[in-house]
Amino acid sequence: MGSNIQGQFYSNNITTGSVTGNEDLISDIRTTLGLSNIIAKKLSIRSGGSISVDINNLGTYSTLYETSDSGSPLYRLDLDAGDCNVSSLKIKETNASVWISIIY
């Protein structure tokens, strides 16, 4: 059974060329929404290409899990309540194309 998470939802496609190396997507979302602070309680990210992420400024990039359930490669990360509260999510690659959704 899924977690009962209370909060607000945000999602967006971030198109090719709009992500620069080491860009913090949570910071970008804060700016877009005009907020001073966001802690993501639930996060999902998808990409058609291999990307590496650094969560909460730990200084370590990890490559997303690859699945091919739909027949073509899909790289994904899903964090649910209790896994990790996310205050920073950096993508190592330049020109990445991703979809991100958060509950904060």
Please give the domain boundaries of the chain with CATH numbers for all domains. 9-103 (2.60.120)
pLDDT band, residue 4 (cuts 50/70/90) = low
**Core vs surface per residue 41-57: b (16+ CB within 10 A) or e:** bbbbbbbeeebebbbee
- Average pLDDT for 83-95: 91
Q: Which amino acid is at 52?
A: S
Q: In 3D, which of 68, 60, 62, 102 has the Cα closest to residue 85?
A: 102
In this prediction the pTM is 0.83
- The whole-number pLDDT of residue 1 equals 43
Residue 10 binned pLDDT confidence (cut-offs 50, 70, 90): very high
59 or 6, greater pLDDT: 59
Read off the DSSP letter of residue 40: B
Give dist(CA 18, CA 93) in Å, integer.
11
pLDDT digits (tens, 9 = 90+) for 17-71: 566 778 899 998 999 999 999 999 999 999 988 999 999 999 999 999 998 776 7
Distance CA 30, CA 47 (A): 21
> Which helix H or strand E contains 76, and what residues bound it?
strand 74-79
Q: Which residue has the higher pLDDT, 99 or 69?
A: 99
Task: Please identify which residue in the block is written with the tokens 């370590």.
Answer: 60
